[in-house]
Amino acid sequence: MVIKMNFEYSEKDENFRKEVKDWLNETLPKSLSEKVKKYQRLTKEDYEIFMNNLTAKGWLAWHWPKEYGGTGWNAIEKHIFEEEIIKASAPRIVPFGVNMLGPVLIEFGTEEQKNYYLPRILSNEDWWAQGYSEPGAGSDLASLKTTAIDKGDHYLVNGQKTWTTLGHHADKIFCLVKTDLNAKPQLGISFLLIDMDTPGVEVKPIITLDGEHEVNEVWFTNVKVPKKNIVGKENEGWTYAKYLLTFERTGIAGVPYSKSALNHLKMISKRSLKNGKPLIDDPIFSSEIAELEIDLLAMEIFNLRTVSAAAEGKAPGMESSLLKIKGTLVRQKTTELLRKALGPQALPYLPEQFDEGWNEMPVGPSYAGPIAKQYFNMRKISIYGGSNEIQKNIVAKASFGL
């Protein structure tokens, strides 16, 4: 008489999962997944090997509709795909072109822009960067100051962008720029596509607290940008930027990352010793792990509920923000416990060990090297993509009616 709630994937979904898994098994080079597992530095080529494989398979544009060369997958399929590529320790799919700019061009670009840029994104010919944040415009993004002045046939761009992830590899950058200096902050912004080769564009590395070079400053000094490079209408860029930010992100909670980190944590806690016994036998430490695991278990169901509703066509609203907050807290907690599990073994910092081909003896166990560095690196996830405080503002505004 009673129909039960069903927490299982359908047979079709399970078949799809197997297809993704098998494909990754066949095509992802072991040397590459090993590098990812060991947190070694990835070169531009490393990313491209994986992304070119995806292109060949037709899976790169996993958020695009079919008619533009995308997969047309529903939210559950996207979720499965993302879970499997993370489980396989593949490099991340660099999102700026394919997951961010692509959907904006599909929605707001001209035919000419679509015909030119989309195939180049699909073939990985262009490496895109995102030019949003500025030194004075972080959470208050609309207060940005980079200007693009109308000079008839071109815009003249001056200003500075920052936190530009992998911008040192980029061929092109999509930027939010001020085109009406007198309008209210949100109203005078335009969405502009800029070639990194243009004279006046300069990329300067930012070395982060973990000693790594992932993000950059991008400076614009009298950069001439053709007027056809504007996306949509002048002064309406804020709308497109918001569209991009709210674009359905099934993986926002990072459940598979936290799951694999939790397994890693348990493994290390079994090997680390306290009073000659495995650390995991220490009731206080293992209790911290257990409550983290319970939080993760609940979050996984929360995430699946949201994914499943999205597959039915219900766009996630405040759920995305809530999952972003919880997802980052859980993931950061895994890095904290990993760091604590190592004790003094977390101290040695040998930056050269993250280069390919390093074959000296590590200090302590081989898994210890990246742990503290990862902990510091992961502080970023509650800051970027709309800080957790901003997410709380969004939820409060959208759902409380205060």
The residue ranges that bind other proteins (CB under 8 A) are 1-10, 13, 76, 266, 280, 283, 286-287, 289-291, 293-295, 297-302, 304-305, 308-309, 318-319, 322, 325-326, 389, 391-393, 395-396, 399-402
Looking at residue 240, its amino acid is Y
User: Which H or E run includes 192?
Assistant: strand 189-195
Q: State the SS3 of 254-289.
A: CHHHHHHHHHHHHHHHHHCEECCEEHHHCHHHHHHH
Closest distance of CB 314 from other proteins, Å: 11
CA–CA distance from 18 to each of 21, 27, 72, 85, 247 (Å)?
5, 14, 18, 12, 27
254 phi/psi in degrees, rounded to 5: 60, 30
- CA–CA distance, 95 with 385 (Å, rounded to integer): 13
236: which residues sit within 8 A by CB, 6+ positions away?
189, 190
Closest distance of CB 272 from other proteins, Å: 14
- CA–CA distance, 338 with 267 (Å, rounded to integer): 10
- CA–CA distance, 298 with 87 (Å, rounded to integer): 20
Toward other proteins, which CB reaches closer, 6 or 25? 6
Tell me the Cα Rg of the chain.
Answer: 22
Closest distance of CB 307 from other proteins, Å: 8
Closest distance of CB 16 from other proteins, Å: 13
Which residue is listed with tokens 């979050």? 299
Q: Are 113 and 186 in contact (CB under 8 A)?
A: no
Toward other proteins, which CB reaches closer, 105 or 322? 322
Closest distance of CB 310 from other proteins, Å: 11
For 95-132, give one letter per residue: b (16+ CB within 10 A) or e.
ebbbbbbbbbbbebbeeebeeebbeebbebebbbbbbb
Q: Are 76 and 311 in contact (CB under 8 A)?
A: yes
Q: Are 157 and 203 in contact (CB under 8 A)?
A: no
- CA–CA distance, 93 with 369 (Å, rounded to integer): 25
Toward other proteins, which CB reaches closer, 171 or 295? 295
Toward other proteins, which CB reaches closer, 208 or 286? 286
Q: What angle do CA 158, 162, 163 make, to 5 degrees?
A: 160
Toward other proteins, which CB reaches closer, 214 or 319? 319
- CA–CA distance, 17 with 80 (Å, rounded to integer): 6
359 phi/psi in degrees, rounded to 5: -135, 30
Closest distance of CB 377 from other proteins, Å: 24
Closest distance of CB 386 from other proteins, Å: 13
Closest distance of CB 276 from other proteins, Å: 19
Q: What is the DSSP pairing of strand 154-161 with strand 128-131?
A: unpaired
Toward other proteins, which CB reaches closer, 248 or 295? 295
Residue 329's CB: how many other CB atoms inside 10 A? 16
Toward other proteins, which CB reaches closer, 189 or 296? 296
Closest distance of CB 173 from other proteins, Å: 33
Toward other proteins, which CB reaches closer, 5 or 361? 5
Closest distance of CB 295 from other proteins, Å: 7
